[in-house]
Amino acid sequence: SYRALGLPQLRVGTRVPTEVLEHLVGLATELRAQRSKPTATPEEARAANAALRSSMRERGNYFPDIERAAAGALARASYVGGALSQGMLLSVVAQHGFSVRFVPDLPRSVRSLTDLRGNRIYVKQEPVGGHSARAVILQALGHFLLGHDTPRDFADFLRQRVEANYFAAAMLIPETAAVAFLRDAMSRRDLAVEDLVDVYSVSYEMAAHRVTNLITHHLELPCHFVKNDASGIIYKAYQNDGILFPADITGAIEGQRMCRQWSGRRVFSAPDRFSPHYQYSDTPAGTYFCVAQVDPRADERGYAISLGVPFEHSRWFRGRETTDRVKSNCPDGECCQRAPLTLAERWDGMAWPSARAHSHILSALPAGSFPGVDDVDIYEFLDQHAAD
């Protein structure tokens, strides 16, 4: 780092004052810290997301190396099937030299914190409806089993996060058993996300995302996945079936608003939003069969999770007999992005909304090797618990 600055070599002799040495050491420490901070603007983050999603689509959202790592970890712990119990989970963690501590005072900026000196994974026991402690622990373990190092930049941070999440899902819904389960359901024309939720005791979101990992690679079924809130803002999305998501000029989908006719929007007005909502959607890219459900484990705002496939593959899924069929012309503005002419003529210029401020869109993402993590908080926490 010093040579890269192009400065002359500094000869440190006995006559160099201690204050100067302290000054140099302080500058060197800060230079090292600054070089490790993968700060990104919202635009850079969206571009990184778009690139990562393209990579996932090319491989059908299937990561064979991570599948093998998860299968190996389960085999060493003598896993025999079914939902991964907490006892089996702790056995898996112990097999790799780590222990788990549940604490009430975990720093707010993290879901888990690993002490690499004491090989402890600290987790806060979340209340019902929060993140699954099993998934959080396995995500932390996945970083080490997958050989992750300090992220080089924000794109590397995102990649590592996706891989750790994939590892946790592959541990909680193991490939071999899950594929056999899905094949059997397909033979009965009864594929359904909620069955994986029941069998493996995972969230609806994890089960739906795990289906996208497996059904293209093993069952040759293209698909799409979306997570959105009640206003239609997209938080996560994936597709390899040709459906057209709303996107900005960089190709980013996150933060865009989905069509009002899509199942992820309509489920919020369904009589029972916590039960599967089935529908067919005629779109400019073709007709799709989709099932959406508001995840009951999500926070109070609620998020809809949608899984869909092209019309010709609907025959394999539960709910295909639905008569609910809608037409969506989005991204054509005449579909639902502009108000009907009569309403626009009546209210144009007569409305002044006070919008919620989303201050995060105006600034760079939080700096740090792990964006958004407060280093002071985590170091103080580790120091406090080191003697426990």
User: Do residues 123 and 235 share a domain?
Assistant: no
User: Do residues 146 and 224 share a domain?
Assistant: no
Q: How many residues does the chain have?
A: 388
Q: Is residue 36 situated within a structural domain?
A: yes
Q: Which of 300, 325, 340 is the last residue of a domain?
A: 340
Q: Is residue 365 situated within a structural domain?
A: no
pLDDT at 28: 84
- Tokens standing for 65? 């190396």
Number of domain units in the chain: 2
Q: Are strands 99-102 and 224-228 parallel, antiparallel or unpaired?
A: unpaired
- Tokens standing for 262? 């899509």
First to last CA, the chain: 38
Q: Are 165 and 384 in contact (CB under 8 A)?
A: no
User: How many other β-carbons are positioned within 10 Å of the β-carbon of residue 186?
Assistant: 18
- Tokens standing for 38? 């993968």
283/242 Cα distance (integer angstroms): 11
pLDDT at 360: 47
Q: Is residue 258 situated within a structural domain?
A: yes
Q: Is residue 288 situated within a structural domain?
A: yes
CATH at residue 299: 3.30.450.20
Q: Is residue 199 situated within a structural domain?
A: no
User: Do residues 235 and 134 share a domain?
Assistant: no
Q: Which of 138, 172, 206 is the last residue of a domain?
A: 172
Q: Is residue 127 situated within a structural domain?
A: yes
Amino acid at 245: F
- 68-80: pLDDT as tens digits: 999 999 999 888 8
User: Do residues 135 and 21 share a domain?
Assistant: yes
Residue ranges, the chain, pLDDT below 70: 1, 33-42, 126-132, 296-301, 333, 354-372
- Looking at 155-276, which runs of residues are DSSP E strands? 224-228, 234-239
User: Do residues 112 and 243 share a domain?
Assistant: no
150/143 Cα distance (integer angstroms): 10
* Domain that residue 128 falls in: 16-172
User: Do residues 242 and 143 share a domain?
Assistant: no
pLDDT at 251: 81
pTM: 0.83
